[in-house]
């Protein structure tokens, strides 16, 4: 399957930095075609500017969250329809930082996935255990529960990707062993059977301290169909190097 390398900028990027990063990646992508899909998920304030900066290149644009409704009296929120209107093809949902910072529940995330689907966006659903849960041997149970609770019933394989992001691997420089990632991804693939048609066509991404130095090994693991990259996606040369290993 063609891999998806997604950059989650999180709450980083003022206009000048964000535009320089997007322009540099667009320049490289135009000069050297990649064999993977490349997605930039800047903060909402930069969506339009990044869209214009990458116009004409194969780079795709995504949001980092959306509301469950498409419009209405929800001060400070952004809807899936608005993301789509701003040029997005994807939206990250259920990231552990939102689950923690905003107390997002599986039920809420499920409603957001339905909104993303209805707006024509591909949802990148994040799941993953804490260090405590892994140490207690509960990693598979946790991702199963998150998947079961946050994936709507009527999803097509092309409308969703699942990102396995162990909470303890995010921003820490630590990653699970290859065998541990393989186990979780095989488990997720199996859990998708019966939930939607063509479960083998759903991209399963790995996220958590993906860097140029470990990307090749991580992307070679069975059932790893791409990466969700945080810190390293803010440095053009690093994100580009990761994308090249995914090609």
Catalytic residues: 95, 165
In the complex, what is the shortest distance from the CB of residue 11 to ligand 13P, in angstroms, rounded to a whole number?
12
When CB distances to ligand 13P are compared, the closest residue is: 230
Nearer to ligand 13P, 17 or 52 (CB): 17
39 sits near ligand 13P (criterion: CB under 6 A) = no
Nearer to ligand 13P, 34 or 170 (CB): 170
65 sits near ligand 13P (criterion: CB under 6 A) = no
Report the alpha-carbon distance of residue 113 to residue 115 in Å, rounded: 5
22 sits near ligand 13P (criterion: CB under 6 A) = no
- Other CB atoms within a 10 A radius of the CB of residue 65 amount to 21
Please count the residues of the chain.
Answer: 247
Number of chain residues interacting with ligand 13P (CB under 6 A): 14
Residue 157 burial by CB count (10 A; 0-12/13-18/19+): exposed, middle or buried? middle
In the complex, what is the shortest distance from the CB of residue 239 to ligand 13P, in angstroms, rounded to a whole number?
10
**Ranges within 144-183 binding ligand 13P (CB under 6 A):** 165, 170-171
| Stretch of 110-118, 187-195, 203-211, 238-246 lying at the interface with ligand 13P (CB under 6 A) | 203-211
Nearer to ligand 13P, 152 or 230 (CB): 230
In the complex, what is the shortest distance from the CB of residue 18 to ligand 13P, in angstroms, rounded to a whole number?
17
In the complex, what is the shortest distance from the CB of residue 124 to ligand 13P, in angstroms, rounded to a whole number?
9
| Residues of the shown chain interacting with ligand 13P in the complex, contacts defined by CB under 6 A | 8, 95, 165, 170-171, 207-210, 228-232
């Amino acid at each position: 399957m063609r891999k998806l390398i997604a950059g989650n900028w999180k709450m980083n990027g003022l206009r000048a930095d964000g535009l320089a990063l997007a322009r540099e990646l667009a320049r490289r992508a135009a000069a050297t075609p990649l064999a993977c899909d490349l997605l930039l998920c800047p903060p909402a304030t930069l969506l339009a500017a990044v869209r214009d900066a990458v116009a004409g290149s194969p780079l795709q644009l995504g949001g980092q969250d959306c509301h469950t409704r498409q419009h209405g009296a929800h001060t400070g929120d952004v809807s899936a329809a608005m993301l789509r209107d701003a040029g997005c093809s994807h939206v990250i949902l259920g990231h552990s930082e939102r689950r923690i910072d905003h107390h997002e529940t599986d039920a809420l995330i499920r409603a957001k996935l339905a909104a993303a689907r209805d707006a024509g966006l591909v949802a990148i659903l994040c799941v993953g255990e804490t260090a405590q849960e892994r140490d207690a041997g509960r990693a598979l149970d946790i991702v199963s529960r998150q998947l079961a609770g946050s994936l709507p019933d009527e999803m097509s394989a092309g409308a969703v990707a699942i990102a396995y992001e162990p909470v303890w691997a995010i921003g820490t420089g630590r990653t699970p062993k290859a065998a541990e990632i393989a186990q979780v991804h095989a488990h997720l693939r199996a859990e998708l059977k019966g939930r939607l048609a063509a479960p083998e066509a759903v991209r399963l991404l790995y996220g958590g301290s993906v860097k140029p130095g470990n990307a090749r090994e991580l992307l070679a693991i069975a059932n790893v169909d791409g990466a969700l990259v945080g810190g390293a996606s803010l440095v053009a040369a690093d994100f580009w190097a990761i994308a090249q290993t995914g090609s």
